[in-house]
Amino acid sequence: MITIRPSSERGSANFGWLDTRHSFSFSNYYDPRYMGFGPLRVINEDKISPSQGFGTHGHRDMEIVTYVLKGALEHKDSLGNGSIIRPGDVQRMSAGTGIMHSEFNASETDPVHLLQIWLLPATSGIEPGYEQIYIAPADKQGHLRLIGSQDGRDGSVTIHQDVSLYSAVLGDGDQVSHTLAEGRVAWLQVAQGSLELNGQTLTAGDGAAIQDLQDLTLASTAPETELLLFDMVA
């Protein structure tokens, strides 16, 4: 079964410096139908104005993945990490027993466009941690590239949950397939472009919850389609 979460129906807020969309209930947006899916708890699409951002704040017991689509995001945290996250980078922060961090647009002139993803960890109270990798564009062009996993295989970031996170960039007419093991679920998020998922059309910002289905076919219908696919424990 495929249940599409249309982009236009997501929660939204605009604070001037931040234009954000929420696939699941978050902050002041609450919808009991959309509290998460499997261990996936948050997918926020954020556009942050130049030199603006989130001041220092705390998290606990959450796996936070940041995926920048355009621009550059500056990260600092209480573990002493400081980095710039750009398109192609994948950042994972494990909040665990507690972490403080800040996120700001690293540019004084250009906005930054990103997806921030929260997943519930398999075990609470783990030691906080941080990891960032770079995936070259060619590594996800025309096929699904693993970018996050429970065991950190194939050079992916380590996510402390039974999830395999894939990214792909597809040209018009490109097609990829994926098979879910029995009993697993998936979430598809279209970051840009458009595609058909087993014949159903999704466009930028749309998501899809997938369950009781094993064989997935994703066919791009735009010159450039970028997507994230979460293969997860139910």
- Tens of pLDDT along 79-104? 999 999 999 999 999 999 999 999 99
**Domain end position, chosen among 96, 117, 134:** 134
Asked whether residue 179 falls in the same domain as residue 90, the answer is no
Per the domain annotation, does 2 fall within a domain? no
Asked whether residue 175 falls in the same domain as residue 210, the answer is yes
Separation of alpha carbons 229 and 154, rounded Å = 16
**Domain end position, chosen among 111, 134, 157:** 134
Q: How far is CA 217 from CA 103, 213, 220, 229, in A?
A: 35, 11, 10, 12
Asked whether residue 146 falls in the same domain as residue 228, the answer is yes
Q: Are 172 and 195 in contact (CB under 8 A)?
A: no
Asked whether residue 91 falls in the same domain as residue 185, the answer is no
Helices in the chain by DSSP H: which ranges? none
Q: What is the pLDDT of residues 171-224, one digit of tens each?
A: 999 999 999 999 999 999 999 999 999 999 999 999 999 999 999 999 999 999
Asked whether residue 125 falls in the same domain as residue 28, the answer is yes
Q: What is the pLDDT of residues 135-166, one digit of tens each?
A: 999 999 999 999 999 999 999 999 999 999 99
**Domain end position, chosen among 117, 134, 151:** 134
Q: What is the pTM of this model?
A: 0.96
The residue range of the domain holding 196 is 137-233
Per the domain annotation, does 224 fall within a domain? yes
Q: What is the pLDDT of residues 24-82, one digit of tens each?
A: 999 999 999 999 999 999 999 999 999 999 999 999 999 999 999 999 999 999 999 99
User: Strand 163-170 to strand 175-179: parallel, antiparallel, or no bridges (unpaired)?
Assistant: unpaired
> Any idea what the CATH number is for the domain that residue 43 is in?
2.60.120.10
Q: How many domains does the chain have?
A: 2
